[in-house]
Amino acid sequence: MDQTPPAARPGTLQRWLTGPRFGALPAPAELPAPALSFEFFPPKTDRLEEQLWACIRRLEPLAPRFVSVTYGAGGSTQARTHATVARIVRETSLTPAAHLTCVGATREEVDEVARGYWAAGVRHIVALRGDPPAGASGYTPHPGGYAQAEDLVRGLKRVADFEISVGAYPETHPSALSADADLDFLKRKIDAGATRAITQYFFEGEVFLRFLDRCAAAGITVPIVPGIMPVSNFTQMARFSAQCGASVPEWMGRLFDGLEEDAETRRMVAAVVAAEQVRFLQANGVDEFHFYTLNRPDLAYAIAHLLGARPRA
Ligand SMILES: Cc1cc2nc3c(=O)[nH]c(=O)nc-3n(C[C@H](O)[C@H](O)[C@H](O)COP(=O)(O)OP(=O)(O)OC[C@H]3O[C@@H](n4cnc5c(N)ncnc54)[C@H](O)[C@@H]3O)c2cc1C
């Protein structure tokens, strides 16, 4: 509660002139277009396959640096991830990155999957420890498997000279012993051969900027690319965030409150929220963005456009 007597409070004009406002951010036109990447998941049905390919075709003209395809929890989508990535190589101008995890497979099996990617022309892997399959209690390394992402990075480098990206957690991985230990393991993944980290999504820009500072202080010099999640289904996202350690600010709950049955307004709100987030990051010098598209192109396309990305012939 503001205890200042009314006469001493700044008037409307003074507040407008001196207070923080969105318009104070530089116009994207003054900044170089950012480097983009888009993440997809492999489809389960013919209808979802069509949706994915419509999404890929819509985003392709934005000429992202790479597009990545996830690997289902417990390694459950191995064949579908491979088929999707191989089709991207064959039928598009895009550079794919295949996600690969340590879960549910021996080292030899994982190496074999990686060799299959190399043979299919895939040169970039997003190397992750992986989450256990639904219903499993906690993560247990497969006997004879790679235990952590760090081991996987090292193993992949032995298979072939892949470009390797790894995951990073601005709000600390939920099972980490401490924030510092988590950062130490990130550094170890990079020392093992990764050349980029892509973050778990987050919603407060300051969280990411603070994380960048901590990475720099820990001697991490590779690019840390913010993972951007445009939120079109708030309820679902809030549930998922609780599991993966991304905090959902209260103001976001208020913005989406009452829109549970109104998908169209939700999408407009989602676009504004994501636009403010990326513009804040861009104004603070961030020039690379990774979008979690959920195989829906519109929000990612609109936000990329706001950042200055334009289709190339
Ligand atoms: C960009 C991105 C993409 C993702 N894509 C997928 C996907 O396609 N499929 C999927 O299943 N999951 C995916 N995930 C989720 C990811 O698999 C989980 O977050 C998983 O729990 C951790 O994976 P990691 O590679 O970050 O693990 P790690 O870096 O191995 O870390 C996991 C935890 O173990 C700790 N740790 C690391 N090394 C050691 C060690 N040597 N000893 C003790 N503790 C250690 C870390 O501090 C951390 O708490 C993705 C996550 C991100 C950020």
Residue-averaged pLDDT of the chain: 92
Residue 185 CA, ligand 1 centroid: distance in Å: 10
Q: What radius of gyration, in Å, describes the C-alpha atoms of the chain?
A: 21
Position 296 pLDDT exceeds 60: yes
Name the pLDDT band for 186 (thresholds 50, 70, 90): very high
Our measurement of the distance from residue 150's CA atom to the centroid of its chain's CA atoms, rounded to an integer in Å, reads 19
Quote the pLDDT of residue 75: 67
Quote the pLDDT of residue 291: 98
| DSSP secondary structure of 2-51 | --S-GGGS--HHHHHHHS--GGGSPPGGGSPPPEEEEEE---SSHHHHHH
Quote the pLDDT of residue 252: 95
Ligand 1 atom with the shortest distance to the CA of 69: 8
Quote the pLDDT of residue 138: 83
- What is the token pair recorded at 34? 């950012």
Position 22 pLDDT exceeds 80: no
What is the rounded end-to-end Cα distance, in angstroms, of the chain? 55
> What is the percent of the chain with per-residue pLDDT over 90, rounded to a whole number?
80
Position 65 pLDDT exceeds 60: yes
Position 68 pLDDT exceeds 60: yes
Long-range own/partner contacts, residues 25-29 (CB < 8 A, 24 or more apart): 25/279, 25/280, 25/282, 25/283, 26/282, 26/283, 28/279, 28/282, 28/306, 28/307, 28/308, 29/308
Position 15 pLDDT exceeds 70: no
Quote the pLDDT of residue 27: 60
Provide mean pLDDT across the span 6-16.
Answer: 67
Residue-wise pLDDT tens digits, 87-102: 999 999 999 999 999 9
Provide mean pLDDT across the span 213-242.
Answer: 94
Give the mutation target among 81, 84, 100, 128 for probing the ligand 1 site: most ligand atoms within 8 A of CB.
128
Position 23 pLDDT exceeds 60: no
Ligand 1 atom with the shortest distance to the CA of 181: 47
> Among residues 30, 39, 108, 206, which one is catalytic?
39
Residue-wise pLDDT tens digits, 124-173: 999 999 988 777 778 889 999 999 999 999 999 999 999 999 999 999 99
- E strand intervals along 92-162: 96-101, 124-128
Residue-wise pLDDT tens digits, 139-149: 889 999 999 99
Nearest CA to ligand 1 atom 34: 176
Residue 145 CA, ligand 1 centroid: distance in Å: 15
Position 3 pLDDT exceeds 80: no
Residue 248 CA, ligand 1 centroid: distance in Å: 20
> pTM to 2 decimals?
0.93
Quote the pLDDT of residue 131: 85
Residue 149 CA, ligand 1 centroid: distance in Å: 6
Which residues sit with their C-beta closer than 6 Å to ligand 1?
A: 70-71, 73, 99, 101, 126, 128-131, 148-150, 167, 173, 175-176, 181-182, 185, 189, 198, 200, 227
Nearest CA to ligand 1 atom 42: 148
Nearest CA to ligand 1 atom 17: 130
Query: Is 39 marked active-site?
Result: yes
Provide mean pLDDT across the span 264-291.
Answer: 94
Position 289 pLDDT exceeds 70: yes
Position 21 pLDDT exceeds 60: no
Strands 163-168 and 196-201: parallel
Residue 303 CA, ligand 1 centroid: distance in Å: 27
Our measurement of the distance from residue 67's CA atom to the centroid of its chain's CA atoms, rounded to an integer in Å, reads 11
